[in-house]
Amino acid sequence: MLSDAGVVPDPEQWLDRVSAATLEALRRRGEAVAGELTEDVPELATKIPYRPDRKWGGELGASTRVLFQLSAEGTIVRGRPRGSWLSSQYRWSAMDDWVELPDPDLDEDGIRAELVRRYLDRFGPVTETDLVWWTGWTKTWVRKGLAAIGSLEVTLDDGATGYVLDDFEAGSDTPSSVALLPGLDATVMGWKEREWYLGAHGAPLFDRNGNAGPTVWVDGRVVGGWGQRPDGEVVWRLLEDVGREHGFGIEAKAAALTEWLDGAVLATRFPSPLQRELDGRG
């Protein structure tokens, strides 16, 4: 972006220098928001033009990209919001101030295997397609990770092959449940192949870029969506019949969430079509 915009003479050198200065300033402060770091590192205020050929083009502050780059590299971490818990301004801290960093010489295959193990522990059974999509890896890397952790193959309801950990207990009984999950929740976004829990409800519950809005769940399946009115009341709509008893359960969950939010209205960055209708936004 710096090269295309031509705003600095040597983009690579500029980025290295500004990134190092930003990290140094953050260590001095302990934690800081972008505006505070810009006071210490004036170059963060540099404006970067983007896509002037598009109506949605404009200018972007360098602080946004530099901080996101440092975060992606694992150097800094986004902490608590500034102000209330609904604030979209966050404080940043050095990563090693929050957690003990791993040995940089760790074996990459071992790291991939551990990530696969953790994913299967939370989301198994999963398909190879799920893993390739979730990690962004090649099939070769995914298969090496599955082999390294000794995963087990299982046959899914549609006949496809799934993978689980050794200690997976198939067929365990679970009580009936009702849940209202927020937008972008890891549960609804955790699998590439979602038909088994999402059914045909994707269009009203996901935006055009694949971001999930708030969802209503019954017994491990998505059955509807929810939103908020301007006064903070949680409202919901079913996309399939779930029976009277579950309807009462959803109503109770919505009332409890309304009370817990206590008038706070969540600002959703990627609202789903159904959420827009429920919120009165179209």
**Roughly how many angstroms between the first and final C-alpha of the chain, as a whole number?**
35
Considering its fold, how many domains does the chain have in total? 3
Residue finishing a domain among 138, 164, 190: 164
Shared-domain flag, residues 263 and 245: yes
**Which amino acid is present at 100?**
E
Q: What is the pLDDT along the chain (282 residues), one digit of tens a residue?
A: 888 888 888 999 999 999 999 999 999 999 999 999 999 999 999 998 887 777 777 888 899 999 999 999 999 999 989 888 888 889 999 998 888 876 767 788 988 999 999 999 999 999 999 999 999 999 999 999 999 999 999 999 999 999 999 766 655 567 889 999 999 999 999 999 999 999 999 999 999 999 999 999 999 999 999 999 999 999 999 999 999 999 999 999 999 999 999 999 988 888 999 999 998 865
**Which amino acid is present at 275?**
Q
Q: d(Cα 128, Cα 257) in Å, to the nearest integer?
A: 36
99 HSE (CA, 13 A, CB side): 10
CATH number of residue 93's parent domain = 1.10.10.10
Instruction: Report if residue 169 sits inside a domain.
Output: no
Dihedrals φ, ψ of 74, to 5°?
A: 80, 15
